[in-house]
Amino acid sequence: VQDVATSWARGSREEEGSQRHWQQEICRILGEIQAPLSPLLLRLCHWMLPKLLSRLFLSVQLQRGQLEIVLRAARTPDVPLVFLCTHQSQLDGPLLSFLLLSQGIGAPRVTVGAWISPRLRSLLQCLGGIFLPSGMAQPWSEQDEGLPGAVLDAYVQEVLRSRQPLVIFLEEPPGSLRLSDPARHWLLRVLRALRDQAVPDVHIVPVGIAYDVAP
């Protein structure tokens, strides 16, 4: 990040205070990506979600065999978990977060689509939702990512190093047959973390959620 920011500062027209300016820009980009987790909101949602599910669905079924595999993978030392999931409903993120937290795996960082109201975005960030920075909300391209791309690379590497579970949705609802642009950005960061040896390995865990009637 520092290398990219230094180049960016040299190219800036503002000579005085340019270093302070790019440091503020890095903090702004990080603030767009995530917010500190709120333990109070997490406990409140952990209490409310089962009540909500009981009103929305007749039952919620969990495949125990897959859960055992996930728990075994979570016990592997120094190897973070990356969950890849197809997107069926806006409830997918809360459902996965609730499951992982209730099984002792921890509160995951869950990728969220860009088109969302500012208030809901702030709430989801406190619950573990992460967003692409505004400079990368355009259609997919590996070119000219600049400072937002460098900050996002460093952020994902730190998430993986600290072994926080990461959930990446492969497309936006309603489900399509092609990888979404946000998913390409997030997956690229995981591949770069492996290429740069920020982590020795990752466990890729495919996750499927199905509904008889999508909410």
Sign of CA dihedral 91, 205, 203, 185: negative
pLDDT at 156: 95
Q: Which of 88, 84, 149, 97 is closest to 126 using CA atoms?
A: 97
Q: Amino acid letter at 180?
A: S
Residue located via tokens 């995981």: 190
pLDDT at 88: 75
Residue pair 60/210 in contact (Cβ under 8 Å)? The answer is no
Quote the Cα angle for 41-45-49, to 5°.
175
**CA dist., res. 10 & res. 126, Å (int):** 35
Task: Give pLDDT tens digits along the chain (215 positions).
Answer: 777 766 666 655 554 566 777 888 888 999 999 999 899 998 898 899 888 888 888 888 888 888 888 888 888 888 999 999 887 777 888 888 888 888 888 889 999 876 778 888 888 999 999 999 986 755 555 555 788 888 999 999 999 999 999 999 887 655 567 788 888 899 999 999 999 999 999 999 888 888 887 66
Structure tokens of 131?
């967003």
Beta-carbon contacts of residue 166 (< 8 Å; ≥ 6 apart):
80, 81, 82, 83, 108, 109, 111, 156, 159, 160, 186, 190
Provide the CB-side half-sphere exposure for 149 (13 A, CA). Answer: 17
pLDDT at 186: 93
**Distance of CA 112 to CAs 54, 130, 132, 189, Å?**
24, 6, 8, 16
pTM of the predicted structure, to 2 decimals: 0.84
